[in-house]
Structure 1
Amino acid sequence: MTNLILATDSYKQSHFRQYPPEARAISAYGEARPNPFSEEVLFFGLQPFLIDYLNKPITQRDIEEAAEICAAHGVPFNREGWQAVLDDHGGYLPLEISALPEGTIVRSGVPLFQAVNTDDRMPWLTTFIETALLRSVWYPTTVATLSWKCAQIIGAGLEKSSDDPEGQLPFKLHDFGARGVSSGESAAIGGMAHLVNFAGTDTLEGIMAARRYYGADMPGFSIPAAEHSTMTSWGKTREEAAYANMLDAFEGEGALVAVVSDSYDLDNAVENIWGGSLKEHVLSRKGTLVVRPDSGDPVETPARTLAKLWDIFGGTTNAKGYRVLNDRVRVIQGDGMNVDSIARLIDRVIADGFAVDNIAFGMGGGLLQSVTRDTLRFAMKANAMRDGEGVWHDVSKNPATDPGKASKAGRQAVVVEDGRLTARQLDSVDAPQDQLQPVWRNGEMLRRFTFDEVRERARR
């Protein structure tokens, strides 16, 4: 599964025979086209692909395996071309890839990266890697953008209602998506993309990916938390004992413990256990209890829970006039959360007179899995061809049946105009102005970003 020659669509194996005979180089760019989900995108995730895939040279064994597979599969195989990659380039793809700095937030429709072959014998190579290259970018960029959109919504709610919006925001959206994705690699890449914007996660693969690919120290944090099995195993008649055990087992000044409280009857748990028989236990212990509703309407249920906790435990009113619960209790809503429901729940919390400080949000498959390449309408398209005389010719498509799929003609540059990143043809700008800078060339990484750099750029 790691043979780069086979990490493509079958039909691309035949493309070495399809380009014009005068073609010496093909340039292609990748972008998130204008889409209904987000006017801006947070570019992230190219670096792991460069490290794990392009940084590993192909071998003779890879060539022989690919030749065998293609012959049996019914498609041509470019043995001469791949043998030249191995013999003349040490197995590293003769490509140059330029990209925006990772963590850049840019309007849709602006190129994020651009690739071109550096060996004139291999104009077919640029678009051959489209499948693997585009896949490596669209998924983490889409998850990072989704997470970033949530950060904008939550941040606006905090600015309105909290005395400490900057301090609160990093832990307001927690990633519970590890079990909801298609693979461990997806958990790692998607979980890492979420951590660009937030520091709360239960996806350990995402933490490890940020450490491996971007040199992060510890980019994400979690707390002890119950699940239904650890509560219901006590039996319904011992629900109170199960909760008391959570309070005792994870006590400490400043410590938090989250307890799912809807195994039987959420309202009874809040009113008669947390706010009744265990009320003094909650108030006297060192640490904060985070009550987790996990069923019911994703807006009404947590709003009702928050109001009941206020009636029972009280709290204070902050400088902005919003109520903040006693610091021994908080709420987290992780069921049914998405961009829309988070926005509605924040509006409801604020309308009820509460600061957003009182509640945190969690997302699972909705964060890491409920996205596709079409969410941000990602595409990689050829934009120029260089002939044997060294002349570049514009290449583009413009389908009459779907003008929205028209591609950009000519090698691209991205420049700052009026404070915004804008696409321009490369020939029309001075090289130092171009924000698309080489990050990979002929087997060598030219630029490596740290996770701190990515995070700082994304907080513009």
Structure 2
Amino acid sequence: MYTSNLNNLILNSDSYKTSHWVQYPSGSEYLSSYIEARKGDYDVVFFGLQAFIKEYLSTPITYQDIDEAEKVIKAHGLTFNRAGWEHLIEKHNGYLPLRIQAIPEGSIAPASNVVCQVINTDPEFYWLPSYIETALLRAIWYPSTVASVSRYCKEIIRQALEKSANNTESLPFRLHDFGARGASSQETVALGSLAHLVNFAGTDSMTALIAASRWYQMGNDMPAFSIPAAEHSTMTAWGRDDEKAAFHNMIKQFGGEDKAFSVVSDSYDLWNAIDNIWGDALKDEVENMGGTLVIRPDSGEPTKVVREALERLAVKFGTTVNSKGYKVLPDYVRIIQGDGISSQSLSKIIDVIIKAGFSIENVTFGMGGGLLQQVNRDTMSWAMKSSAICIDGTWKDIYKDPITSRSKRSKKGRLALVQDGNGQIKTIKEQALGRPSDNLLRDVYVDGQLLIEDSLTIIRERAGW
């Protein structure tokens, strides 16, 4: 039985990487590779590298790591570069002799641009940039994709608020993360929900709160918020005949001046709940409790359900018309739609709400699987490719250019990212830089040291918070 721990960086790779050190040409000294999102429906919001460096690259390789990795890899049927890893400990105290450059986290760049670049700093370790591809690419593609999807949704909601509400002040709380239970692991939640918090301040993923403090300098500052909320078990425990009592208990427990709470209201009959319980039997309590009741539908076709819920609430509680000419429910009642939300469905629901004459300020959205789990590396076609190699002191460009898929053509040479005179971001070769300071890529990690450490607050500002 193998006892290797999951933090053994040598084993945090694809199997075929273990034999690559003998596959490069003789005289190989330096290998430069880059990461990009080759395409996608979203601009890239770069995020997650700092977390990876702090969690995985700030701890040196040990002889125990080497011993464990050798047992696993040889039994797995592969060759093992024991001499190379031992030399890394002897020469660099177990820290990776790499230089990792990247754009600042929270930066926004069009797809098909370099966002990260890695090269070895010691010619004896030409094989290392490619060896960490698996871990480094994964550390970037997932949180960056979530941050990109989240920002795309934020822009949809922003435009809707600008059209139908008096202001956009509530925007940071308009898309709430409900993805923890549907994510593949706790680390997925930590990275994915934290990536969402680059754009928003609402989450039910408490793991992200710890991650913000652990990786992004939040300390005791709270990066996100939530409110008390019911689930079906706490409502159905009262039984169908006592649904009104269940709802009344929520007002009793959580109502009050400036307080808000959410009640799932479709355990049985959403329309009965709105028309006869919230809008009749408990109407006076809702109106006079001093806080905000947020009614949550949780089933049905979202565009139809949200519109009808708004219309029924308008009949029961009335509306006012804001400066943009759209109907607004009283402050004490709102809706949250957290079922069936994706970047595609969000626009459709919002369109229906606005066409029905309601302001989007009546509705908050929750997103679960569509935010944290229904993304993959192909969502934005993320890739890490080698683009230049130095052999016996001479640099040459390397690239792939398959005739069967031009979309997989890779970039050539040592790269830089610049902003041209028109404000457009583009990738160029490093030697074409006018000044080194023009390069938007900056050294983040060199030879075991994290050189730049940003807080989530700074990253949010870059992302247009």
Q: Does 1:28 align with 2:33?
A: yes
CA RMSD across the alignment:
0.8
Deviation at 1:431, TM superposition (A): 1.0
> 2:163 aligns to what SS in structure 1?
helix
Deviation at 1:253, TM superposition (A): 1.1
> 2:352 aligns to what SS in structure 1?
helix
**Equivalent-residue separation in structure 2 for 1:415 and 1:48 (angstroms):** 25
Q: Does 1:383 align with 2:387?
A: yes
- What corresponds to 1:169 in structure 2? 171
Q: Does 1:397 align with 2:400?
A: yes
**Equivalent-residue separation in structure 1 for 2:69 and 2:214 (angstroms):** 29
Would the aligned equivalents of 1:29 and 1:112 in 2 still touch at CA under 8 Å? yes
**Equivalent-residue separation in structure 2 for 1:130 and 1:85 (angstroms):** 18
- What corresponds to 2:3 in structure 1? none
Q: 1:279 aligns with which of 278, 283, 297?
A: 283
**TM-score normalised to structure 1 length:** 0.98
Kindly report structure 1 stretches of 4+ aligned residues shifted beyond 2 Å. Answer: none
Alpha-carbon displacement from aligned partner over 1:25-45 (angstroms, at most 9, x marks no partner): 00000000023x32x111111
Q: Does 1:352 align with 2:352?
A: no
Q: 2:333 aligns with which of 319, 329, 333?
A: 329
Would the aligned equivalents of 2:33 and 2:129 in 1 still touch at CA under 8 Å? yes
- What corresponds to 2:310 in structure 1? 306
Number of aligned positions between the proteins: 456
Q: Does 1:98 align with 2:95?
A: no
Q: Does 1:213 align with 2:215?
A: yes
**Partner amino acid, structure 2, of 1:369:** Q
Q: Does 1:228 align with 2:232?
A: yes
Q: Does 1:129 align with 2:132?
A: yes
Q: 1:440 aligns with which of 427, 441, 445?
A: 445
**Equivalent-residue separation in structure 1 for 2:44 and 2:451 (angstroms):** 24
Alpha-carbon displacement from aligned partner over 1:97-122 (angstroms, at most 9, x marks no partner): 00000001100011010000011111
**Equivalent-residue separation in structure 1 for 2:335 and 2:39 (angstroms):** 37
Would the aligned equivalents of 2:343 and 2:370 in 1 still touch at CA under 8 Å? no
Alpha-carbon displacement from aligned partner over 1:93-147 (angstroms, at most 9, x marks no partner): 0000000000011000110100000111111000000000000000000000111
**Partner amino acid, structure 2, of 1:451:** L
**TM-score normalised to structure 2 length:** 0.97
- What corresponds to 2:374 in structure 1? 370
- What corresponds to 1:338 in structure 2? 342
- What corresponds to 2:205 in structure 1? 203
- What corresponds to 2:155 in structure 1? 152
**Equivalent-residue separation in structure 2 for 1:334 and 1:303 (angstroms):** 14
> 1:362 aligns to what SS in structure 2?
strand
**Equivalent-residue separation in structure 2 for 1:210 and 1:444 (angstroms):** 20
**Equivalent-residue separation in structure 2 for 1:308 and 1:65 (angstroms):** 64
> 2:462 aligns to what SS in structure 1?
helix
> 1:280 aligns to what SS in structure 2?
helix
Q: 2:8 aligns with which of 3, 18, 34?
A: 3
Deviation at 1:388, TM superposition (A): 2.1
Deviation at 1:252, TM superposition (A): 2.0
Deviation at 1:315, TM superposition (A): 2.5
1:112-127 to structure 2, matched below 5 A, reads 112-127=115-130
> 2:79 aligns to what SS in structure 1?
coil
Q: Which runs of 5+ in 1 are unaligned?
A: none
Alpha-carbon displacement from aligned partner over 1:160-195 (angstroms, at most 9, x marks no partner): 011111x11111000000000011110111010000
> 2:112 aligns to what SS in structure 1?
coil
- What corresponds to 1:80 in structure 2? 83
> 1:343 aligns to what SS in structure 2?
helix
**Equivalent-residue separation in structure 1 for 2:120 and 2:268 (angstroms):** 62
- What corresponds to 1:259 in structure 2? 263
**Equivalent-residue separation in structure 1 for 2:398 and 2:344 (angstroms):** 40
